[in-house]
């Protein structure tokens, strides 16, 4: 099993290219099931989650190629991938595939809308708290679907003639459920109005792609999204937006170690709240023609309090990384997690490096320390794993991070990108 070995103490200087967003690519890939034409996606990251979803889509009958080659030949940085779902050969998404990645459950929306039925295993994914599918089920039921749960599978059937447009307001904001209802509603009869919709850039990106495919969606990026159903969707070409979580992660790495790095190919507007928190910690952040420049020269890291919230608030997917940054602040900071109830599993591992963190309910109190010391640590989930990398970059001596398959789910060539900027980071195989 691979591990990441880090020798801390080096500033980061250079250019880090930001990959396409995993959280945008996954629903875009799933949207290819809505049409029998080819959907071409540019800037698709090369990640374990993307490869897993490619296998799932192939199980449904999608033909997938990378830059004109079969998908297994596609290697390296973000790629152009062609998805053609001319014939859906199976409307069942089996447990052995869906259990490995929660987002694969989202195929239920397109399959139900296009084929009138879907049988999808209840999802798996990383253990960062309970994320029930009740919002998905209620949203699809509002469109007229009959839903049953049997033997660990959600079985959905559309009424004769297809799904029917409806008004539905989510009781709480859900990015995934917004994706699914929006996709399903594109082929529903009549108009659908989604209230309390997620406003994340990834939702806006999906709407942009669906509209290019012939959908009629307005209001994406606001809390009310309106979809006028159409008879069919066509193919399109769409570029996946830059990964705002990767952007924030590397910005925090520079703030942690010091240095001067240009994050290339990204957009500050995607994560204003997070960048403002990093600025308050003492880093200088400016937009450039090619992306974002992050600089921290001299001076300590200032303590900053943050509360995670749905977009445009501070992203829960950057909470662990920001905690890593705060471990070396020159005071006391507080991080309150409002999205997931079990997303502080990285605290014990950061403590192995010398961090002083105490928990009270959903709030972590971080007392900054002058020095962190390298140690063996273990990744518990995707974002927690990279928080340990950030801490290791500033720790004295050697840190080894095990269970790096979590990292491979969401960060494309992390060790290579950091090494090019002067970090001592390498992948070690046992």
Task: At 341, list the tokens.
Answer: 């109830």
Place of tokens 């996954």: 26
Q: Is 172 annotated as a binding residue?
A: yes
User: Which H or E run contains 399?
Assistant: strand 398-402
Q: Is 272 annotated as a binding residue?
A: no
Report the distance separating Cα 196 and Cα 193, nearest Å.
Answer: 10
Report the distance separating Cα 336 and Cα 2, nearest Å.
Answer: 32
- The answer to whether 4 and 428 are in contact (CB under 8 A) is yes
Q: Is 339 annotated as a binding residue?
A: yes
- The answer to whether 404 and 3 are in contact (CB under 8 A) is yes
Residue 87: burial class (beta carbons within 10 Å; 0-12, 13-18, 19+): exposed
Q: Is 233 annotated as a binding residue?
A: no
Q: Is 133 annotated as a binding residue?
A: yes
Q: Is 132 annotated as a binding residue?
A: yes
- Beta strands at 2-7 and 38-44: parallel, antiparallel or unpaired: unpaired
Q: Is 22 annotated as a binding residue?
A: yes
Q: Out of 48, 126, 251, 378, pick the active-site residue.
A: 126
Strand pairing partners for 304? Answer: none
Q: Is 131 annotated as a binding residue?
A: yes
The yes-or-no answer on residue 421 being catalytic is no
Q: Is 297 annotated as a binding residue?
A: no
Q: Is 128 annotated as a binding residue?
A: no
- Alpha-carbon distances of 53 from 25, 98, 109, 143, rounded to whole Å: 10, 9, 15, 26
| Residue among 382, 428, 345, 351 nearest 126 (CA) | 382
* Bind-site residues for UDP-N-acetyl-alpha-D-glucosamine: 102, 131-135, 172-175, 317, 339
* Bind-site residues: 22-23, 102, 131-135, 172-175, 317, 339
Residues with a catalytic annotation lie at 126
* Bind-site residues for phosphoenolpyruvate: 22-23
């Amino acid at each position: 099993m691979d591990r990441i070995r880090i020798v801390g103490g080096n500033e980061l200087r250079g250019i880090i290219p930001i990959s396409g967003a995993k959280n945008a690519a996954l629903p875009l890939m799933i949207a290819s099931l809505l049409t029998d034409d080819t959907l071409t996606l540019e800037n698709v990251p090369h990640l374990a989650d993307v490869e897993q979803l490619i296998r799932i889509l192939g199980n449904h009958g999608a033909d997938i190629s990378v830059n004109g080659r079969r998908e297994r030949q596609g290697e390296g940085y973000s790629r152009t991938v062609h998805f053609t779902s001319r014939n859906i050969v199976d409307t069942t998404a089996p447990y052995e595939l869906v259990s490995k990645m929660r987002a694969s459950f989202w195929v239920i929306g397109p399959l139900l809308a296009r084929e009138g039925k879907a049988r999808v295993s209840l999802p798996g994914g990383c253990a960062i708290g309970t994320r029930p599918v009740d919002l998905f089920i209620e949203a699809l039921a509002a469109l007229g679907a009959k839903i049953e749960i049997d033997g660990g599978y959600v079985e959905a059937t559309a009424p004769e003639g297809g799904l029917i447009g409806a008004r539905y307001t989510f009781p709480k904001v859900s990015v995934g459920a917004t994706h699914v209802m929006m996709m399903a509603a594109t082929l529903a009869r009549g108009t659908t109005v989604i209230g309390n919709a997620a406003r994340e850039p990834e939702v806006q990106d999906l709407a942009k792609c669906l509209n290019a495919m012939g959908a009629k969606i307005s209001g994406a990026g606001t809390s009310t999204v309106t979809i006028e159903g159409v008879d069919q969707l066509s193919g399109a070409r769409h570029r996946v937006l830059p990964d705002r979580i990767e952007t924030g992660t590397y910005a925090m790495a520079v703030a942690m170690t010091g240095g001067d790095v240009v994050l290339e190919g990204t957009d500050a507007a995607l994560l204003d709240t997070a960048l403002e928190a990093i600025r308050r910690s003492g880093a200088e952040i400016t937009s450039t023609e090619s992306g974002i420049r992050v600089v921290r020269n001299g001076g300590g890291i200032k303590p900053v309090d943050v509360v995670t919230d749905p977009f445009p608030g501070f992203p829960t997917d950057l909470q662990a990384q920001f905690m890593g940054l705060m471990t070396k602040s020159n005071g006391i900071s507080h991080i309150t997690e409002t999205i997931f109830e079990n997303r502080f599993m990285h605290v014990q591992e950061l403590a192995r490096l010398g961090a002083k963190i105490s928990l009270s309910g959903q709030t972590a109190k971080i007392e900054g320390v002058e020095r962190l010391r390298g140690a063996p640590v273990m990744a518990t989930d995707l974002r927690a794993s990279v928080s340990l990398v950030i801490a290791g970059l500033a720790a004295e001596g050697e840190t080894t991070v095990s269970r790096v398959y979590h990292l491979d789910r969401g960060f494309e060539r992390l060790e290579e990108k950091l090494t090019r900027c002067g970090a001592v980071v390498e992948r070690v195989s046992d």
